[in-house]
Amino acid sequence: MTSLQQTVASAPTPARTLRVLHVTDVFQGGISRAVHSMLANSPDGATHHLLYEGSEVPDLRYFDSVERLPRSFATRILAVGRHARQIGADVIYAHSSWAGVFARALPKHVPVIYQPHCYKFEDPTISPLARAWTHLAEKTLAPRSTWTVVLSDHERRLTHRLYGAARTHLLNNVPAIDLNSPIALPEARRAFMIGRICPQKDPAFFAQFARALRSTDRETEFVWIGDGEPEARAKLEAAGVRVTGWLTGEALIAELSRPGLYVHTASYEGFPLSLLDALQSGHVAIARQIEPLRGVPIVQRTSPEDLARVAHEVFVPGSPEGEAVLAGSIALNQSMSDDAQREQLRALYMKVGLERS
- Helix axes of 230-238 and 203-214: crossing angle, nearest 10 degrees: 10
243/234 Cα distance (integer angstroms): 9
Among 182, 205, 201, which Cα is nearest to 259's?
182
Candidate ranges 248-252, 332-336, 342-346; pick with highest mean pLDDT:
342-346
pTM of the shown model: 0.79
Per-residue pLDDT tens digits for 99-119: 999 999 988 789 999 999 999
Give the CA distances from residue 193 to residues 98, 260, 286, in Å, rounded to whole numbers and listed in that order.
26, 10, 10
pLDDT digits (tens, 9 = 90+) for 344-356: 999 999 888 766 6
The CA-based angle 86-88-90, given to 5 degrees, is 140
pLDDT band for 357, please (50, 70, 90 cuts): low
pLDDT(331) > 50: yes
The stretch 23-36 carries a mean pLDDT of 90
106 in helix, strand or coil? coil
24 pLDDT tier (thresholds 50, 70, 90)? very high
CA 267 to chain centre: 13
Extended strands (E) in the chain: 18-24, 46-52, 65-68, 91-95, 112-115, 147-150, 168-170, 190-194, 221-225, 241-243, 261-264, 284-288, 299-301
Query: Does residue 6 register a pLDDT over 60?
Result: no
Strand partners, 300: 287
pLDDT, tens digit (0-9, with 9 covering 90-100), for 127-147:
999 999 999 999 999 999 999
Residue 67 exposed, middle or buried by CB count within 10 Å (0-12, 13-18, 19+): middle
Which residues, other chains included, contact 321 with Cβ-Cβ below 8 Å and sequence gap of 6+? 299, 310, 313, 314
The whole-number pLDDT of residue 45 equals 82
Which band of pLDDT confidence, cut at 50, 70 and 90, is reported for residue 16? low
pLDDT for position 356 = 65
Lowest mean pLDDT among 28-32, 56-60, 151-155, 324-328: 28-32
Distance CA 29, CA 27 (A): 7
Helices and strands (DSSP H and E) totals, the chain: 13, 13
What mean pLDDT is reported for the chain? Answer: 91
Mean pLDDT for 225-245 is 96
pLDDT at 11 over 50: no
Distance CA 36, CA 50 (A): 11
